[in-house]
Each structure stands twice: as C-alpha cells, then as structure tokens.
Amino acid sequence: MTDAPHGCNLRRGRVSLPGQVYFVTMVCKDRRSHFAGFAAARCAVSALHGDAVAVLADTLAFVVMPDHVHWLMLLKEGAGLGETVWRFKVKVSLAIGGRIWQRGFHDHALRRDEDVVTVARYVVANPMRAGLVRKVGDYPHWDAVWV
C-alpha cells in the first residue's frame, strides 16, 4: 500500500475562512495541455475575472500554465473555498467544452508571516521557471493586482 495522496484525501481537514488568502493549484486531467492554445488560456483568464468567481473571491494573482492554473485569492464573506474553485472549473469547462480538470485541487492558506506579494511574484514567475519564457512580461496569461 502506498502513502501517496489521493484527490479525495485533499478535502480532509479543509476549512474555508472568509478574509483568508489562499494559494490554489488546479491541474488538468491527465496533465493534458488544454491551455497551450491562446483562446483556451484566455477562457481561463476570463473566468478568473468573471462575475461567477468575483462574487466569492478577489483574485490577487494568477497564472494559466499549459496544464494547470495557480491562483492567489482572497476569499470573501460567506464564500466557501470548494465552491469558489468549483465555479471557476465549471466556467472554464463550459467555455472550452468537456471535462478538462483533474478532481480536487491543492490549496495553501497563507499564514500571517507569509508575504502575499512574495507569493504573487512566485505565482507569476512560474512560466519562467518552467522555461516557457525568459521574462515574466513575455508570457500573456497572468495578472496580479499590484501590476
């Protein structure tokens, strides 16, 4: 038997705290590069800025990579983390067509001693670390409220 985590185990112990900043990662099913094309990636960007998500969370920073999305968000009063991520995934799936997401998601609630801007820089620099671009500004599918 293996100790490797499973998608269903990711929900254990998860709580949603309004006013909490979360760093969320959502991965495409089978690590397929659904967002390699410009139009599909922009569907994900639009969903992050859209009303369905904005009523539940303020997007602080994000990057849409070819096979996953990193999202730094501030959860609003009355919102649940699971519902917020679910709404995003549904909007993107409907826009692109088909089931594109791996079940579950990874989240990290930022602690008081973690600098939100430093985490945002980490998020938007992901395409550089992956070797997709040489400069952050060369990658079109990211944003941060500090820019």
pLDDT per position as a tens digit, 89-133: 999 999 999 899 999 999 999 998 889 999 999 999 999 999 999
Residue 112: the pLDDT is 86
Instruction: Please give the helix or strand (H or E) that residue 142 lies within, else none.
Output: strand 142-144
How far, CA to CA in Å, does 66 sit from each of 31, 46, 57, 75, 100? Answer: 9, 16, 23, 25, 12
Residue 3: the pLDDT is 46
Domain 18-144: which CATH class?
alpha beta
75 DSSP β-pair partners: 57
Identify the band that residue 45 occupies on the pLDDT scale cut at 50, 70 and 90.
very high
| pLDDT (average), residues 54-75 | 97
- The whole model's pTM is what? 0.89
What residue type is assigned to position 135 of the chain?
K
How many degrees, rounded to 5, is the angle at CA 108 between CA 106 and CA 110?
165
Domain boundaries, the chain: 18-144
Flag whether pLDDT at 10 surpasses 70: no
Identify the band that residue 12 occupies on the pLDDT scale cut at 50, 70 and 90.
low
- Percent of the chain whose pLDDT exceeds 70: 90
